[in-house]
Amino acid sequence: MALCHRALDSRQQPTQAALAPAAALYGRPLPRSRRSHLWLSSSPFCPRRGRVWPPHVPLYYPSYLMIIAPSFLSADFAHLEREIEMLNKSEADMLHFDVMDGSFVPNISFGFPVMASLQPVVRKPMDVHMMVVHPEQWIEKVASYGAEYMTVHQEACHNLHRCIQMIHEAGMKAGVAINPGTPNVMLDEVLCDLDLVLIMTVNPGFGGQKFIPSMLDKVRRMRAKLVERNFSALIECDGGVNLETGRMLKDAGADVLVAGNSVFRSENPTETIHKLKNL
């Protein structure tokens, strides 16, 4: 497949007129937070979405803004009302919930009662990251709380493709996470069915861990694979994300940054979210 790309200025945003031809073929507005690149490809095809791009059509992914998903795991649980109010007023795009069972990962976090109590007051989409064994048994439960994304771990699913289908059938967008030691190739057969790929940049289980630098190349390779095959999944990164590592992840090709301690432990969380979004 012939492929060429050239980077636009990181602060340049094409006009709606320039985006119209590609948006019309795409069938819906182009993703807001993709890389500010002009991608030109030779008729790649996605079986699930059924999109074929003519080689002459430039694909702009216009926005230079990152998608920010503060991790609720790092919130102050003694002052949840204050934290939720701050997030609702902030520029955060989603609220990231890390659900841990103490089996798949060596820690236990909050469960569904917490999510149920927050559902009426949270005005941001819910991005639910299931760090549990047998995640398929909780799909309907997660969907009942209005989650937009449900992400399961490749390492925890005996039948990953079926699990992804079940998430879509429940009305949610499907994501799959891979741990630092899991190679990208483990997702090759399901990439076309994914809405989100979560690349863990720390080993899962605990907040506040140090970012693993080698994951930058992993993100680059995943971005190259998605571009080559013209798949539309977002790349999300979780673990050790701050203003410094967030900039590096954006340059590597990430779309979504999950930030915990760097947001909730900062002097001004709202301003930190703003800075992360505008890296």
Q: List residues with catalytic annotation.
A: 98, 238
CA 8 and chain centroid, separation: 23
Is residue 99 within 8 A of residue 131, CB to CB? The reply is yes
Is residue 112 within 8 A of residue 141, CB to CB? The reply is yes
Supply 42's token pair: 């030779």
Query: Rounded to whole angstroms, how far apart are CA atoms 189 and 186?
Result: 8
